[in-house]
Amino acid sequence: MAAPEIPFTIPKLVKGKRVTTVPKGSTWAKEEAKQHWYVEFFFHNPETDKMVRFRPTKNLNRIKDPKEKLKHFTNMCKAYHDALEGGWSPLDDKANAKLKREITSLTLEKAKSMFEEYHIAKGTRKKSRQSYLSKINQFVEYYGADKRVTEISDYEITEFLNFMEKEKTWSGVTYNSSRIILNNYFRYLKVNKYVAVNPVTDIETRTKIKTESHQIFSEKDFKTIMKYLGEHDEYCLFFVKMIYYTCIRPKELRYLQLKHIDLSQKVITVPASISKNKKSLPVNIDASLLKELKLLKIASYPENYHLLGSTDTIISEKRVGENTPYYRFQKCLRATKLDKKNYTLYSFKHFSNVKKFRAGWTLAEICSANRHGSLVETETYLKELLKFVPSDKVIPKI
């Protein structure tokens, strides 16, 4: 059998088993996205003189959103087509590595897109992806989107970091954070054979300057803030009270629905779908908070409404904007001239734990209230808080 003129078939997207029924509440697209998708093509093996079938997925079946899944599989299908036309052989790892490094060497911009797609498929949180991309975007802008990844050495990495440190006055923390992100970016490229070495590996780090974020309120400042919110912002006041009394994180509070609140049992259950640690755990409702929740007449609203969905009515069908509570609290800090003290919404959680500790709560009780996974996590969390807990106990006589 003579070898075919073109040793491969055109890659095509296969969406798994054909969907025949759609459950109530779902759609054809959603049901289709639940299937096992893959890109299929055949490649001629000269040793056996047979066409070998390949069905790569690149772990993209982890994506459940129909539009996202279709976009990434379509991009992958095109990438395989381009690689095959460029001379790549899926049968030869060495040829594969050489092709990626020398023939189809990626641009910084293309590599950035692939790095982003990798983290989407991996399930990396949106905010984390945005943080990674902000630094990579600066790197791409510095050298140009069309510069090849194979043209980047440790010299280019050092030049970029030094420039940003000097001209953009990066702190040691920012410098090191950027170095770590670039290291992960090029490590991904090395693992996938697009570069032979990681140029960031031996780049020096900077001495970190300790951050002072989420500072704990002084008693005076706490009273000033609560007084201002009581007079000017009912919504933000209730939001921070929820943090103080429950230690539920700000993002979790934005997603909290009325169905998660059981006033009769005095419990709020933060579902795994919105919890930071992906665990569904109960939070006790303090007597003081219970009074305020009863005033909202929760039972008169549909259970799918959001507890903190509106700055006007508090409870609302829609979810409040991601940065709304933050912006309203920042406005309070500026108005009270406390905006230079590094107070954040998380400061209410920290302040609550200081008050608990002073009131005699045990470490285990604080661990439970914060929904920490272990006492070790709580101990680490309390290290900075302990300086605010002076002891007036008598030292035993020798």
Neighbours of 92 (CB within 10 A): 11
Of residues 382 and 181, more confidence is placed in 181
Residue 95 pLDDT exceeds 60: no
Per-residue model confidence as pLDDT tens digits over 3-31: 566 788 999 999 988 888 889 888 999 99
Which of 7-21, 75-89, 90-104, 130-144 has the least mean pLDDT? 90-104
Of residues 127 and 253, more confidence is placed in 253
CATH architecture assignment, domain 105-211: Orthogonal Bundle (1.10)
Residue 384 pLDDT exceeds 60: no
Domain-wise residue ranges, the chain? 1-97, 105-211, 219-388
- Which fold does the domain 219-388 belong to in CATH? hpI Integrase; Chain A (1.10.443)
Record the pTM: 0.52
User: What's residue 337's pLDDT?
Assistant: 95
pLDDT band at 296 (very low <50, low <70, confident <90, very high): very high
Q: At what angle do helices 234-246 and 324-335 cross, to 10 degrees?
A: 100
Residue 100 pLDDT exceeds 50: no
Per-residue model confidence as pLDDT tens digits over 339-368: 888 889 988 988 888 888 888 888 788 888
Place of tokens 């779908």: 273
Q: How far apart are CA 243 and CA 263, in angstroms?
A: 17
Mean pLDDT over 62-89 rounds to: 86
Dihedral angle computed from the Cα positions of residues 275, 280, 286 and 287, in that order, rounded to the nearest 10 degrees: 130
User: What's residue 294's pLDDT?
Assistant: 93
Q: Which amino acid is at 289?
A: L
Residue (of 106, 89, 92, 168) closest to 135 by Cα position: 168
